[in-house]
Amino acid sequence: MYHNRIKKRIELVGIKNGTLAALVGLQAPKLSIWLKGRCELPPAMMKKIDGTLSDLVSLQKCFPVLLKQHVGKKIIGLDCDFCQSDVSQQ
C-alpha cells in the first residue's frame, strides 16, 4: 500500500497530482490511477516520486510558499525589494 502513503504525503505537501506528475515526467492520469491502487508503477518511478516529494518538503522549509496557490499570485504578495521592483517594472 505504498501508493496510500504517497497520497497522504501529497496532501501534506499541498501539491496537485497533475503538478507532481509533470515534475516526475509521468502522465497525470497514470499517476491518478496508481494513487487509487488500480495499476503498478516501476520501482524507479516510485523512487522518483518519493524523492520529488522529499525535495518539495525541503524547499517548503526554506521558502514557505503554499503550493496549492498559483505561485505567481503568492510571489506578488511577498514584501521584499526584489519582488516589488520586479512587479513595478511590468
pLDDT tier for residue 63 given thresholds of 50, 70 and 90 = confident
- Closest to 41 measured CA to CA, from 28, 31, 53, 52: 31
| pLDDT surpassing 70 at residue 55 | yes
**Could you report the per-residue pLDDT of 4-13, keeping only the tens digit for each?**
999 999 998 8
- In angstroms, rounded to a whole number, what is the distance separating the alpha carbons of residues 83 and 69? 17
**Could you report the per-residue pLDDT of 6-53, keeping only the tens digit for each?**
999 999 888 899 999 999 999 999 999 999 999 999 999 999 999 999
Structural domains of the chain ordered from first start: 2-88 (1.10.260)
Task: Report pLDDT for 48.
Answer: 95
